[in-house]
Chain A
Amino acid sequence: MTPSIVPNFGSESTDRKLAIICSKGNLDMAYPGLILANAALGEGVETMLFFTFWGFDMITKSRMNDLQFSPAGNTAMHLPGHNMHIPQSMMPAPGMTAVATHMLKKQIADLDVPEVPDFLDQIVAAGGHLWACRMSADMNKLEMNDLRDDVEGIISASDFIEMTEGAQLLFI
């Protein structure tokens, strides 16, 4: 018989930090940052997200429920479960974005992965921090009350770089 084996869950206080910059507002590109943030928090890593440019839509109350997915310009896109591609020339057809968005949302829901606003709720519940980009807010004429209530502030890029000192960084 082997002596006791106890998993190493790491020490209670890890100084590992992760900063994720979310710069895209397409539905498909909203998810990578959220999935990685959620995974990092589940591993006890302090995680900060910075929403900038189109990524601002993920935290803007009037936009966050309406992110879309367009297959136009995405040559990797194929039909689920098939290797068949639709020609790029057909992608701008009317209704194509709505159909593709609907299909992607269904595929995500089938995996029990939440919609973007719910996912951010979960990330904040797990201890994640949300920050909004000053320049994006100014460009879009948005203020704190236009954003999710759990956004901690609208800050400059240099503020974010300063507060994430020592963190690993992902730009999405």
Chain B
Amino acid sequence: MPVIRIAEKPVNVNEEGFMTQYDEWNEEIAKELAAQIEIPLTEEHWKIIKFLREDFKVQGETATSRRVQTVGGVPVKEQFALFPKKPAKKMAYIAGLPKPKGCV
């Protein structure tokens, strides 16, 4: 698996560029990942990213859009507004988590 430099740190990623080591992530890295896919991070974005990080720690897998709505409390419509077109994957990418596995 490749190692790349993000926010001055070496970071393990998969062949698509998603981070593979939960503990290598920090907020500086998140900012740089978000900038690379042209998402300016606001408080609302951070709320979702922090939910995804906490949820992954407990569940061991990345929350789907559905779960971000039902458990994280951010409606699907808002997720699409904050992370346009492909919210589930973009949220996971910035949060340093794998793509969600669930279908819904």
Q: State the A residues within 8 Å of B (CB).
A: 1-10, 12, 14, 35, 38-39, 42-44, 111-114, 119, 122, 125-127
Contacts of B10 in A (CB 8 A): 1
Across the A-B interface, the 3 shortest Cβ-Cβ residue pairs: A44-B85, A5-B17, A2-B2
Q: Are B84 and A12 in contact (CB under 8 A)?
A: yes
Q: Are B70 and A112 in contact (CB under 8 A)?
A: yes
Given A42-B86, A44-B86, A126-B77, A5-B2 contact (CB < 8 Å): yes
Interface size on B, residues (CB 8 A): 34
Q: Are B104 and A5 in contact (CB under 8 A)?
A: no
B96 CB to closest chain A CB (Å) equals 13
Contacts of A114 in B (CB 8 A): 66, 104
Q: State the B residues within 8 Å of A (CB).
A: 2-6, 10, 13, 15-18, 36-37, 64-67, 69-70, 75-77, 80, 84-90, 93, 102-104
Q: Are B13 and A5 in contact (CB under 8 A)?
A: yes
Contacts of A5 in B (CB 8 A): 2, 4, 13, 15-17
Q: Are B70 and A42 in contact (CB under 8 A)?
A: no
Q: List 26 A-B contacts (CB under 8 A).
A: A4-B4, A4-B6, A5-B2, A6-B37, A7-B37, A7-B89, A9-B86, A10-B86, A12-B84, A12-B85, A39-B103, A42-B88, A44-B84, A44-B85, A111-B102, A111-B104, A112-B66, A112-B70, A112-B102, A112-B104, A113-B104, A114-B104, A122-B66, A122-B69, A125-B77, A127-B80
